[in-house]
Amino acid sequence: MRGGPGAAGPPGPAGTPPEALLAAALRARPAPGTEAERRALAAFRATWEQGVRRPARTRRRDDWRPRRR
């Protein structure tokens, strides 16, 4: 059945199948855009490599569960 689930689409540029184009786009890692973003990413990676990992705290206003009494 043509066009059904799992069917390949028409070839893209230069005969490349759409699946290959999508896979290449997903594998591409864009470089951080700004200097601040690069510094923040470097700080995060340094902290992560040192093993400093804490569970994220939930703010009360974000927690919609009933309060414990």
Q: Do the Cβ atoms of 17 and 11 come closer than 8 Å?
A: yes
- List the chain pLDDT tens, one digit each, 69 residues: 445 555 555 555 667 788 888 888 777 766 657 788 888 889 988 888 888 777 777 777 777 788 777
Q: pTM to 2 decimals?
A: 0.33
Q: Do the Cβ atoms of 48 and 40 come closer than 8 Å?
A: no
The Cα–Cα gap between 49 and 39 comes to 15
Phi, psi of 66 (to 5 degrees): -60, 145
Say whether 38 sits in a helix, a strand or coil. Answer: helix
* Residue 35 amino acid letter: E
